[in-house]
C-alpha cells in the first residue's frame, strides 16, 4: 500500500513539474516557429503541436498569439539587458574594455538558441503588426539604447569621451549592433566574401571606440 502511495506521489510530482515547465516549453516552441515561418504564418495549432499539447491548453497560459509573441520577446532579450545593467553597475576597467565586453555579449546572447533570429523577425513583421513593433520598441529597443547611453556616461565620467551628442550616438550604435544581427539572418549567407564573426565584432568594437572615445586602440 505504501509503495503504491509513493509511486502515486512520484507521478504527481512529475506532473506538477511538467505543468510548471509548460509555459517555457510553449514559448520555446513559439519562438522556433515564429522565426522559421514568421508571425503571421504561424498558427496556434502549429505551436501547440510543436509543444506537444492540445491547442486549448495553450490558452490556459496565454491569452492569444500576440501575448505569446510578447512572452517570447521578454524571455529572449530582457536577460541580456539585465545582464548589461549589472556589468555597467560594477565595472571598473577602461571604457574600451566595457565596449568590447558588451559588444561580444550582445552577439553571444542574441545569437544563442534562445534569441537567434528575433531581431530579423521583428524587423520583417513590424509594418504588419504595429502593436507588436511598439512593444518591441518599448521593451527592447529603448532599454538597449539606454544601456548604450550608460556606457557613454561611463566614458564621460572617466573623461575619455569625445564631445558628441550622446543621445544621438546611442541611437547610431544601437542601429549598428541591431543591423549586424538582422544581416546575419538575411544577406550574410549570400556574401561572396564572408568574414569571421570574431573579425566582424572586433571591427565593430574598434569602430565604436574610435568614434566616441579620446583614447584610440593601437
Cβ(35)–Cβ(121) under 8 Å? yes
Closest CA relative to residue 30, chosen from 107, 117, 139? 117
Cell matching residue 67: 501575448
DSSP assignment, residue 161? B
Q: What are the structural domains, with CATH classification, of the chain?
A: 1-62 (1.10.10.60), 65-218 (1.10.357.10)
Q: With H, G, I as helix, E, B as strand and everything else as coil, classify residue 11.
A: helix
Cβ(216)–Cβ(209) under 8 Å? yes
- Calpha distance 202→133 (Å, rounded): 30
pLDDT grade, residue 4 (50/70/90)? low
Q: What is the pLDDT of residue 18?
A: 57
- Calpha distance 87→110 (Å, rounded): 17
Q: What is the pLDDT of residue 215?
A: 64
- Calpha distance 161→192 (Å, rounded): 37
Supply the mean pLDDT for the chain: 86
- Calpha distance 53→49 (Å, rounded): 6
Using one digit for the tens of pLDDT, what is the confidence trace for 184-209?
Answer: 888 988 999 988 999 999 999 999 99
Cβ(26)–Cβ(34) under 8 Å? no
pLDDT grade, residue 26 (50/70/90)? very high
Using one digit for the tens of pLDDT, what is the confidence trace for 65-92?
Answer: 999 999 998 888 877 778 888 889 999 9
Asked whether residue 138 carries a pLDDT value surpassing 50, the answer given is: yes
- Calpha distance 71→30 (Å, rounded): 10
CB neighbourhood size of 49 (10 A): 14
92-96, 110-114, 177-181, 206-210: lowest mean pLDDT where?
A: 110-114
Asked whether residue 103 carries a pLDDT value surpassing 80, the answer given is: yes
Amino acid at each position: 500500500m505504501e509503495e503504491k502511495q509513493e509511486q502515486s506521489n512520484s507521478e504527481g510530482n512529475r506532473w506538477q513539474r511538467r505543468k510548471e515547465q509548460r509555459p517555457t516549453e510553449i514559448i520555446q516552441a513559439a519562438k522556433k516557429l515564429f522565426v522559421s515561418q514568421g508571425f503571421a504564418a504561424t498558427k496556434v495549432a502549429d505551436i501547440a503541436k510543436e509543444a506537444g499539447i492540445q491547442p486549448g491548453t495553450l490558452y490556459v497560459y496565454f491569452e492569444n498569439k500576440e501575448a505569446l509573441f510578447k512572452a517570447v520577446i521578454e524571455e529572449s532579450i530582457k536577460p541580456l539587458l539585465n545582464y548589461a545593467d549589472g556589468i555597467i553597475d560594477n565595472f571598473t576597467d577602461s571604457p574600451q574594455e566595457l565596449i568590447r565586453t558588451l559588444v561580444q555579449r550582445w552577439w553571444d546572447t542574441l545569437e544563442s538558441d534562445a534569441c537567434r533570429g528575433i531581431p530579423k523577425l521583428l524587423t520583417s513583421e513590424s509594418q504588419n503588426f504595429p502593436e507588436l513593433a511598439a512593444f518591441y520598441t518599448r521593451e527592447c529597443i529603448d532599454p538597449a539604447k539606454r544601456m548604450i547611453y550608460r556606457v557613454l556616461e561611463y566614458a564621460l565620467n572617466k573623461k575619455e569621451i569625445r564631445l558628441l551628442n550622446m543621445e544621438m550616438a546611442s541611437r547610431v550604435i544601437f542601429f549598428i549592433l541591431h543591423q549586424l544581427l538582422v544581416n546575419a539572418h538575411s544577406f550574410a549567407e549570400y556574401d561572396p566574401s564572408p568574414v569571421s564573426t570574431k573579425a566582424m565584432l572586433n571591427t565593430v568594437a574598434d569602430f565604436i571606440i574610435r568614434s566616441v572615445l579620446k583614447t584610440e586602440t593601437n
